[in-house]
Amino acid sequence: MAWDTERTKRLLLDAATTEFSEHGLAGARIDRIAAAAGVNKERIYQYFGRKDDLFAAVLAHRLRGSMDEVPMLGAGPGAVGDYAGRLFDHHLADGVIPRLVFWEGLERGPATAADAARAAYHDEKVERFRELLPGVDRAAAGELLLTIVSLVNAWPVLGHLDAFLIGGGSAGAGDRAVRRRAVLVESATALARDAIAVAAAAAENAASTPRGVPAASVRRVSEVQ
Amino acid sequence: MAWDTERTKRLLLDAATTEFSEHGLAGARIDRIAAAAGVNKERIYQYFGRKDDLFAAVLAHRLRGSMDEVPMLGAGPGAVGDYAGRLFDHHLADGVIPRLVFWEGLERGPATAADAARAAYHDEKVERFRELLPGVDRAAAGELLLTIVSLVNAWPVLGHLDAFLIGGGSAGAGDRAVRRRAVLVESATALARDAIAVAAAAAENAASTPRGVPAASVRRVSEVQ
DNA sequence: TTCAATTACAACCGTTCAGTTGGAAATGAC
DNA sequence: GTCATTTCCAACTGAACGGTTGTAATTGAA
């Protein structure tokens, strides 16, 4: 039979995605990945290089997918909440991204910023946020996006805390997801509105006192409001 | 010289805390822990049992610390924001708890609910939340606490995303922490206020239409507001 | 002083792991 | 068909790992 190297690579990448999602970089077993893919493990080294490289390939592949599949739609601060909700849905359906993101955060050093495509993607999202939120600077928009990303990714990983915090109450997991999605959309929208308000107050403040205004007095606006 | 078994145990627990925080359960090395503590590794098995048990001991010890050191003070929804802020401060100063929490979520199965002391602690916190938030039911209070816990713990772990989202901008890490703390306090307070509003609307709704009200119509209140 | 229990440690053990090798089977260009 | 190249795999390697063991030192109570 003819070789089908693309299929082999795909089988390996899929198996590796599952393995790394479940066990992380240190806990993953090359042999298990090869066995699950039905492929000799030597292929892994030929196609992807070392274990770390395979992990990086899995991460890049999967994140790229989520980047493309969750566009930002609409206008105004409500669009931020809407985006958060759809990101939530996507991660919930996907099942592996949140775990991969946190494995990455925990196991890889802070010097992963070399991924140019990823940086470009995030840049674009932040810029889209800024279009939705008049007057908001890059840092504030980045903070907002980070807050949303943190919440959306943390929840599936911290599912074991549900037993403590929510208890074996009446609501099932599905019902809880609906509830949490609503909370997320709402708070993302609220935070977006607030970011606009803070930016407006800061601009006005800057106009009246041109320079040397301590940052704390600007930030305070968001606390008082 | 006389034995000092308590000191030995403490040295091991401290070294294990650092090791597990950095590398997780699968990535941690027993030999490294023993070496860092300056203690023979056989002592680990004598005092703490297997690797998993040592991890559990580290987790219990450290979480117990954070439980006792961050009390809930004040009254009203502002107290929720205040609590979130102090939890943020504590985790920031501690440095290992967020990582341990996420290692636990990723590496241990969902059946960790056997820890009675921990469940009791969380129960108490949720009840304190309910005292602060009139009318809010257990599930909603639990959700709110989980949101706060998620944000506070996720941020230090996802620090590698800063490079993408915030960029090597003008603000240093310390300045960013101040900013994020303000955002956290503010949003926690806002969510607490909202939880009260939702509960009040639900109660009124229940009074006018005694039974059979679909949960969605109640939830909608928080989205519209 | 005796002695059982505890603490400590170096050396060890069986297993598992990431990564390699040597060679067979298949491919495609000529 | 020839042959260099690529795909594939079973078997291998050397190191590292979690966990144990045999034994010596120390303790405190009898």
Model pLDDT for residues A11-22, shown as the tens digit of each residue: 999 999 999 999
Model pLDDT for residues B101-129, shown as the tens digit of each residue: 999 999 987 656 567 888 888 999 999 99
The answer, yes or no, to whether residue B14 has pLDDT greater than 80, is yes
CA distance A170 to A154: 23
Q: Bigger pLDDT: B181 or A183?
A: B181
The answer, yes or no, to whether residue B163 has pLDDT greater than 90, is no
The closest nt to A47, taking CA to C1', is: D7
Question: Contact at 8 Å (CB) between B206 and B215?
Answer: no
What is the residue whose two structure tokens read 């990983």? A157
The answer, yes or no, to whether residue A189 has pLDDT greater than 50, is yes
Does residue A102 belong to any structural domain of this protein? yes
Sign of the alpha-carbon torsion through B1, B4, B9, B11? negative
Nearest CA in chain A to B184: A147
State the Cα angle at A84 between A100 and A79, rounded to 5°.
Answer: 150
* Boundary residue ending a domain (B69, B100, B126): B69
Sign of the alpha-carbon torsion through B21, B22, B28, B30? negative
Contacts of A122 in chain B (CB under 8 A): 161, 164-165
Radius of gyration of chain A (CA): 21
Beta strands in chain B (DSSP E): none
Cβ of residue B4 near strand C, that is under 7 Å? yes
Contacts of B223 in chain A (CB under 8 A): 182, 185-186
CA distance A146 to A84: 11
pLDDT at A80: 96
Question: Contact at 8 Å (CB) between A189 and B140?
Answer: no
Shortest Cα–Cα distance, B143 to chain A (Å): 7
Does residue A129 belong to any structural domain of this protein? yes
* Boundary residue ending a domain (B69, B92, B109): B69
Contacts of B151 in chain A (CB under 8 A): 147, 150-151, 154
Cβ of residue B42 near strand D, that is under 7 Å? yes
Model pLDDT for residues B185-221, shown as the tens digit of each residue: 988 998 898 889 888 888 887 776 554 444 443 333 3
Give me the CATH number covering residue A170.
1.10.357
The closest nt to B40, taking CA to C1', is: C9
pLDDT at A220: 36
Contacts of B103 in chain A (CB under 8 A): 106
Cβ of residue B164 near strand D, that is under 7 Å? no
Give me the CATH number covering residue A30.
1.10.10.60
**Per the CB < 8 Å rule, is A171 touching B139?**
yes
Residue B221: closest CA among A183, A82, A197, A174: A183
Tell me, yes or no, whether B77 and B60 share the same domain.
no
pLDDT at A13: 96
pLDDT at A168: 61
pLDDT at B111: 57
Tell me, yes or no, whether B89 and B189 share the same domain.
yes
Domain count, chain B: 2
Tell me, yes or no, whether B26 and B65 share the same domain.
yes
Does residue A84 belong to any structural domain of this protein? yes
Confidence of residue A112 (pLDDT cuts 50, 70, 90): low
pLDDT at A170: 57
Assess: ipTM above 0.85.
yes
The answer, yes or no, to whether residue A68 has pLDDT greater than 50, is yes
Tell me, yes or no, whether B134 and B156 share the same domain.
yes
Does residue A191 belong to any structural domain of this protein? yes
Average pLDDT over residues A205-209: 70
Tell me, yes or no, whether A7 and A112 share the same domain.
no
Tell me, yes or no, whether A200 and A91 share the same domain.
yes
**Per the CB < 8 Å rule, is B219 touching A179?**
yes
Q: b/e string for B146-155 if b means 16 or more Cβ within 10 A? A: bbbbbbbbbb
First-residue to last-residue Cα distance in chain B = 70
Tell me, yes or no, whether B110 and B151 share the same domain.
yes
HEC per residue, A122-154: HHHHHHHHHHHCCCCCHHHHHHHHHHHHHHHHH
pLDDT at B112: 61
Q: How far is CA A113 from CA A26, A46, A147, in A?
A: 21, 26, 19
Does residue B219 belong to any structural domain of this protein? no
Tell me, yes or no, whether B112 and B186 share the same domain.
yes
What does residue A70 show for φ and ψ, rounded to 5 degrees?
-120, 85
Neighbours of A51 (CB within 10 A): 18
Model pLDDT for residues A22-42, shown as the tens digit of each residue: 999 999 999 999 999 999 999
Residue span of the structural domain in which B28 resides: 1-69
pLDDT at B97: 96
CA distance B60 to B81: 26
CA distance B220 to B225: 9
pLDDT at B219: 39
pLDDT at B224: 35
Tell me, yes or no, whether A48 and A79 share the same domain.
no
pLDDT at A66: 82
**Per the CB < 8 Å rule, is B102 touching A104?**
no
Tell me, yes or no, whether B53 and B150 share the same domain.
no
CA–C1' B31–C19 (A): 23
- Among candidates A106, A155, A183 on the partner chain, residue whose Cβ is nearest the Cβ of B157: A106
Average pLDDT over residues B153-170: 82
Tell me, yes or no, whether A201 and A114 share the same domain.
yes
Question: Contact at 8 Å (CB) between B38 and B64?
Answer: no
Does residue B222 belong to any structural domain of this protein? no
Q: Bigger pLDDT: B168 or B10?
A: B10
Residue B57: closest CA among A219, B65, B175, A44: B65
Contacts of B183 in chain A (CB under 8 A): 143, 147, 191, 222
Does residue A131 belong to any structural domain of this protein? yes
Average pLDDT over residues B56-62: 93
Model pLDDT for residues A74-103, shown as the tens digit of each residue: 988 899 999 999 999 999 999 899 999 999
Confidence of residue A212 (pLDDT cuts 50, 70, 90): very low
CA distance B159 to B98: 11
Confidence of residue A117 (pLDDT cuts 50, 70, 90): confident
Tell me, yes or no, whether A2 and A28 share the same domain.
yes
The protein footprint on chain C, as nucleotides within 7 A of a CB, is 6-11, 16-22, 26-28
Query: Please, what is the average pLDDT of chain A?
Result: 86
Question: Contact at 8 Å (CB) between A90 and A69?
Answer: yes
pLDDT at A179: 85
CA distance A77 to A191: 8
Strand D within 7 Å of which CB atoms in A 173-212? none
* Boundary residue ending a domain (B69, B87, B109): B69
pLDDT at A223: 39
Does residue A194 belong to any structural domain of this protein? yes
The closest nt to B41, taking CA to C1', is: C9
**Per the CB < 8 Å rule, is B110 touching A167?**
no
